[in-house]
């Protein structure tokens, strides 16, 4: 069970459980009442790839394709692949025997390359040390839905009777006001949520739903803010 250290608006914190939402499959592929299995088959060998064949036959490539079908290896194509390994290739197609050096490329808003640098290790900040904080910055649900694109949604769950009341009160307040509240990490709660080392930074929005004595508290994660494109020409 994954856990989350969470703080409410009254600065009371608790450790609660989190899990990914389970969605029902909209449809099933295959024949009714029959299980569908996916298998992998070999479609080409290195020698039969377009690049290599074009280099081998030159100007006669098109006629060779028609007359001899060199792109088809009768002995290999169609064989069942039971397993595979990941390999890395250089820009020249050569096999790499050690991990490549990773370079972080910074792109400016206009699409031009701004900077190249070695990647920085960024630690996760969603942990047991500091809680994820309720910032008090509330926004109507309708506004959040059109202003931010959600990447993931996590359900927050209680682990005992005390945390049930703790989370239920949060969910009820948010539903009654028809709002979502921004949550943040760090000492002041003003940092994006990073769930693992070098992970994606997210804005977090809490949404509450209550039905009688039942509740659902959802943490929506966004890494993209949607903005209108100005129709006015640049001066």
How does pLDDT run across 77-108, given as a tens digit for each residue? 889 988 888 888 888 888 888 888 888 898 98
Listed as own residue / partner, the contacts of 10-16 with beta carbons closer than 8 Å and 24 or more positions apart are 12/166, 13/131, 14/162, 14/163, 14/166, 15/128, 15/159, 15/163, 16/156, 16/157, 16/158, 16/159, 16/163, 16/166, 16/167
Q: How buried is 6 (Cβ within 10 angstroms: 0-12 exposed, 13-18 middle, 19+ buried)? A: buried
Q: Which residue has the tokens 């009714």?
A: 32
Q: Is residue 116 part of a domain?
A: no
213/148 same-domain check? yes
Q: How many CB atoms are located within 10 Å of the residue 130 CB?
A: 17
Q: Is residue 157 part of a domain?
A: yes
Residue 29 has a pLDDT of 76
18/130 same-domain check? yes
152/71 same-domain check? no
Work out the average pLDDT over 59-76. Answer: 88
Work out the average pLDDT over 28-41. Answer: 82
Q: Is residue 231 part of a domain?
A: no
pLDDT at residue 234 is higher than 60: no
Rounded Cα gap, residues 81 and 172, in angstroms = 53
DSSP conformation letters of 39-68:
-EE----GGGSHHHHHHHHGGGHHHHHHHH
Residues 168-199 pLDDT 10s: 999 999 999 999 999 999 999 999 999 998 89
Range of the domain at 197: 2-22+122-225
Residue 181 has a pLDDT of 97
128/171 same-domain check? yes
Q: How buried is 217 (Cβ within 10 angstroms: 0-12 exposed, 13-18 middle, 19+ buried)? A: buried
165/198 same-domain check? yes
Mean pLDDT, the chain, rounded, equals 89
72: confidence class by pLDDT, cuts 50, 70, 90: confident
Residue 231 has a pLDDT of 61
13/47 same-domain check? no
Structure tokens at 189: 């709660």
CB 213 within 8 A of CB 205: no
Q: Lowest-pLDDT range, 23-37, 110-124, 189-203? A: 23-37
Number of folded domains that form the chain: 2
Residue 154 has a pLDDT of 95
């Amino acid at each position: 069970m994954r856990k989350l250290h969470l703080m409410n608006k009254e600065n009371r914190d608790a450790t609660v459980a989190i899990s990914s939402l389970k969605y029902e499959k909209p449809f099933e592929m295959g024949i009714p009442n029959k299980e569908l299995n996916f298998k992998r088959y070999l479609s080409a060998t290195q020698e039969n790839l377009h690049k290599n064949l074009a280099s081998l036959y030159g100007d006669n490539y098109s006629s060779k394709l028609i007359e001899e079908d060199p792109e088809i290896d009768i002995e290999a194509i169609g064989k069942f692949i039971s397993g595979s390994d990941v390999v890395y290739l250089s820009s020249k197609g050569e096999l790499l025997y050690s991990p490549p050096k990773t370079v972080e490329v910074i792109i400016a808003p206009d699409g031009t390359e701004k900077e190249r640098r070695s990647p920085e290790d960024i630690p996760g900040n969603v942990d047991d040390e500091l809680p994820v904080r309720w910032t008090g910055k509330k926004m109507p649900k309708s506004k959040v839905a059109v202003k931010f694109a959600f990447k993931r949604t996590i359900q927050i769950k209680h682990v005992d009777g005390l945390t049930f009341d703790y989370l239920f009160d949060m969910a009820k307040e948010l539903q009654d006001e028809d709002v979502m509240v921004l949550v943040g990490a760090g000492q002041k709660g003003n940092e994006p949520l990073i769930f693992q080392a070098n992970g994606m930074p997210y804005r977090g929005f809490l949404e509450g739903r209550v039905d009688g004595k039942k509740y659902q508290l959802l943490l929506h994660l966004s890494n993209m803010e949607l903005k209108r494109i100005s129709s006015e020409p640049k001066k």
